[in-house]
Amino acid sequence: MSITDLAELRQRLTSGFGPIESEVMAEKAASLGYHGRQVEKAMAALKAFDAVPGSADERLILVKAAARDVWKFFVQREACGMRDQRDAIRHYGIPPEVLARLGAIEK
């Protein structure tokens, strides 16, 4: 075994992850952060709309967009091993009307 092999083996044994596993975890975390920010933006857009209401059709467009963003975020959370979404729902203030649309595909 070379010194490089020993260093890599030592890192794997001490960290529990090899370089590829560490890279995959970093990508998952980055994606989770991105999708969380998208949910924040969608919730902010809904709140801003509700502060100065417009038409029901305009609001429905925002609710549908929010549902798509929340669905993507939940999928990413599950990919990271987080199966319980209740804390995220509370944290982001996701309303029931958005949750009711999760997974719905409209043409």
Instruction: Say whether pLDDT at 86 is over 80.
Output: yes
- For residues 53 and 59, is the Cβ–Cβ distance under 8 A? yes
Instruction: Say whether pLDDT at 4 is over 70.
Output: no
Q: CA 89 to CA 103: how far, in whole Å?
A: 16
Provide the whole-model pTM: 0.79
pLDDT digits (tens, 9 = 90+) for 27-63: 888 888 999 999 999 999 999 999 997 899 999 999 9
Q: Mean pLDDT throughout 65-83?
A: 93
Phi-psi region for residue 52, left (φ > 0), alpha (ψ -120 to 50) or beta? beta
Give the pLDDT of residue 73.
94
Q: Mean pLDDT throughout 11-20?
A: 65
